[in-house]
Amino acid sequence: MSGEGRAGRQRESTTHCPYCALQCSTVLSGERGGVAVRPSADFPVNRGGLCQKGWTAPSVLAAPDRLLTPLVRAADGTLAPAGWDEALDLVAGRLREIRARHGADAVAVFGGGGLTNEKAYTLGKFARVALGTSQIDYNGRFCMSSAAAATTAAFGLDRGLPFPVTDLDGADVILLAGANPAETMPPLMRHLEGADLVVIDPRRTRTAERAALHLRPAPGTDLALALGLLHLAVTEGLVDQEYVDTRTAGFDAAWEHCTAWWPERVEEVTGVPADELRTAVRMLGGARRAYVLTGRGAEQHSKGSDTVAAFVNLALALGLPGRDGSGFGTLTGQGNGQGGREMGQKADQLPGYRSLADPADRAHVAAVWGVDAKTLPGPGRSAYELLDALGTGAGPRALMVFGANPVVSAPRAAHVTERLRSLDLLVVADFVPSETAALADVVLPVAQWAEEEGTLTSLEGRVLRRRAHLTPPPGVRTDLEVLHALAVRLGQSAGGFPVRPREVFDELRRASAGARADYSGISYARLDAGEALHWPCPAGADGNGAGDGHPGTPRVFLDRFAHPDGRARFTPVDHRPPAREPDAAFPLYGTTGRVLAQYQSGAQTRRVPELVAAAPEVIVEMHPDTARRFGLAEGSMAEVGSVHGTTRARVRVTRAVRPDTVFVPFHFPGAGRANLFTGDALDPRSRMPEFKVSAVRVTPAGERP
């Protein structure tokens, strides 16, 4: 097993997959150009299994277009190789100039949910201390923000799964609302095999094919469906009244909003037959052990927070959350989607889930950072609002991007691309030339997952060690080294921005001590010794988390919820339509999502030959009746257009989608970007964009109605 300072000198290393939040444990062997991977047999999450992406992960290490030297935009408009000092001096000089001319908030930072805890922490500190800007957010805003808002309101704490994944093994019934783990995180399916699945999804996905019951609501109507399920739980006598009375608050107000959502009305709005609704509730209410899990399909809406809250309300009424063997959870997507939103790269948060608006939280973190709390900026813009403001009179004039590819991943992608082009300075740190890097003024080549040390936090709140198997190629630096070098050039002390992950983690522990996401009792020594540590994990009396410290908290809510009175909260919510519904001009629902062989914006997976062979191009799935109606055939090219833009995709005719719906995966670049047709409607609480429902039309490519 290799460790920090020994990377590249040993031939075998135990680490974790670079993709989703399951963080499957893997063993790497071999040297650069010939790295092999195998799953760890004893890790409880993947149990010796990997998905297609995990098996092929080492291919990206040898990508032929790997970035190996800094690139600077030349006078002729091309990106030309440059030395590190030249590139960093240029970036620091331009940042100083823009800040002096336009103020600290004229510089912005955009991070990623795949960054290690150490990098996410340092990025937030860099923005607020070295740059003094409030303008920092990250692509996790597009992933988990609605679930975070809803579960924080309900439970007082946001942890995707407040129980270990292995608890799902014993379930009798699991409801999956807008989640397709058979394609997005296949090893999770091993833990669902013993349960009857109730799947809520407009498409007949690979997960839905395994379901005992598949509910197919029209896109944008999940909230009405959840309200109807709670209505039935009450009217069918399935509410756990003792649990509601002793462990919750606010049931009556939530129920008042559900009284009008009788099954036949829900059927009229959603298209789901009333009898299927009754069956679903009876399955959940009659199960000895049951879980309700939500995914992006429920969350990526302009009412995503309310939709998740409605499913939480259902789970609370049935007495599931906080019980051993039952519960509620949300399936985090990105590799460090959980840790990434805890460590301070979110617009309104400081490390440990501390709040930028709370004086005590500001004082604690400022003391760790050695600065005056008054100098810390307040909350900034959310991710889409930040991107939308770039280059405008009141918006940032410079942007630094770490671990994200918003040209592909952001809604209204063409508009966001133009905003990026309008900047005075765009800096991108990446290991491959992503579509966003192609627009940059300066590109900084950074290390990949198998070349760096650090920690990540999985969807179950377990903190894991990433171990380096290789040293980075000559000319490549780690993100921590880049941030250190820039901070020093901007006048910060060298010691304030460590480059060794272990040192950053020790500082992170102090910053999170006493907070909701308390990491202070976790240490590299404990993780390297093989301890399974879930946060919160406060430090022991010795303050260093060593020896027989706190065991961590794999099951968070068994005794009480995180509100001061220990009770969970019902949230009163009501259904409302999406920002734009189909009409005569745009008669179909357009929805987006993932496919098995690709991941996120595709910047990594589109460089793996096996994955490209499995999913080579963007497709638009449509029902045979829809294809006939609009003059389209299997394999032909179509344009999927909304008021925001048009995506070009190859037609795949299938009965897996509803006749009123088309589906486009969002992994592909150029004219095939699904987010060309997604809009800018945002959830008022989470600021989540409405990725999952757009009003669209489909036409043969090159034609217009």
Kindly write down the DSSP assignment for every residue of 294-331, as one continuous string: E-HHHHSSTTHHHHHHHHHHHHHHTT-TTSTT-EEEE-
The mean per-residue pLDDT over the stretch 87-92 comes to 98
What percent of the chain is modeled with pLDDT above 90?
A: 96
pLDDT band at 415 (very low <50, low <70, confident <90, very high): very high
**Whether the predicted pLDDT of 197 surpasses 60:** yes
**Whether the predicted pLDDT of 313 surpasses 60:** yes
**Going by C-beta distance under 8 Å and a sequence separation of 6 or more, which residues neighbour residue 39?**
24, 25, 26, 27, 46, 48, 49, 50, 54
Could you report the per-residue pLDDT of 566-602, keeping only the tens digit for each?
Answer: 999 999 999 999 999 999 999 999 999 999 999 999 9
Q: What is the pTM of this model?
A: 0.96
Q: Is 560 helix (H, G, I), strand (E, B) or coil?
A: coil
Q: Is 425 helix (H, G, I), strand (E, B) or coil?
A: strand
Instruction: For residue 65, count CB atoms less than 10 angstroms from its CB and return exposed for 0-12, middle for 13-18, buried for 19 or more.
Output: exposed
Task: Kindly report the number of other CB atoms within 10 A of residue 629's CB atom.
Answer: 14
Instruction: Write down all domains in the chain, each with its CATH number in brackets.
Output: 71-142+336-446+478-494 (3.40.50.740), 588-700 (2.40.40.20)
Between CA 396 and CA 103 the distance in angstroms is 9
Residue closest to 699 by CA, chosen among 619, 621, 640 = 640
**Sheet with 25-29, side-by-side order of all strands:** 12-16, 25-29, 36-39
Q: What is the pLDDT of residue 703?
A: 58
Distance of CA 199 to the CA centre of its chain: 21
Q: Is 16 helix (H, G, I), strand (E, B) or coil?
A: strand
Between CA 277 and CA 468 the distance in angstroms is 49
Query: Is residue 181 within 8 Å of residue 192, measured between CB atoms?
Result: yes
Amino acid at site 155 = F
Q: What is the pLDDT of residue 333?
A: 85
User: Residue 536: is the preceding peptide bond cis (ω within 30°)?
Assistant: yes
Between CA 627 and CA 652 the distance in angstroms is 9
**Furthest CA-CA distance within the chain:** 73
Q: What is the pLDDT of residue 11?
A: 76
DSSP 201-244: -SS--HHHHT-SEEE-PPTT-HHHHHHHHHHHHHHTT---HHHH
Q: What is the pLDDT of residue 6?
A: 42
Extract the tokens encoding 655. Answer: 């009965």
Extract the tokens encoding 651. Answer: 């037609």
Query: Is residue 446 within 8 Å of residue 476, measured between CB atoms?
Result: yes
**Whether the predicted pLDDT of 176 surpasses 90:** yes
Query: 3-class secondary structure for 579-601?
Result: CCCCCCCCCEEEEEECCCCCCCC
Residue closest to 604 by CA, chosen among 52, 63, 32 = 63
Extract the tokens encoding 403. Answer: 């671990």
Could you report the per-residue pLDDT of 449-503, keeping only the tens digit for each?
Answer: 999 999 999 999 999 999 999 999 999 999 999 999 999 999 999 999 999 999 9
Q: Is 57 helix (H, G, I), strand (E, B) or coil?
A: helix
Task: List b or e across 51-60, with b for residues whose CB sees 16 or more CB atoms inside 10 angstroms.
Answer: bbbbbbbbbb
The mean per-residue pLDDT over the stretch 184-189 comes to 97
Query: Is residue 296 within 8 Å of residue 142, measured between CB atoms?
Result: no
Could you report the per-residue pLDDT of 101-126, keeping only the tens digit for each?
Answer: 999 999 999 999 999 999 999 999 99
Between CA 202 and CA 662 the distance in angstroms is 10
Amino acid at site 25 = S
Between CA 108 and CA 440 the distance in angstroms is 14
Mean pLDDT of the chain: 96
Between CA 146 and CA 299 the distance in angstroms is 6
Query: Is residue 682 within 8 Å of residue 689, measured between CB atoms?
Result: yes
pLDDT band at 33 (very low <50, low <70, confident <90, very high): confident
Q: What is the pLDDT of residue 4?
A: 41
Q: What is the pLDDT of residue 549?
A: 87
**Going by C-beta distance under 8 Å and a sequence separation of 6 or more, which residues neighbour residue 260?**
none
> What is the Cα Rg of the chain in Å?
24
Half-sphere exposure of 538 (CA within 13 A, CB side): 6
**Whether the predicted pLDDT of 2 surpasses 80:** no
The mean per-residue pLDDT over the stretch 65-88 comes to 97
Half-sphere exposure of 93 (CA within 13 A, CB side): 7
Could you report the per-residue pLDDT of 537-568, keeping only the tens digit for each?
Answer: 999 754 444 445 899 999 999 999 999 999 99
Extract the tokens encoding 537. Answer: 């994990």
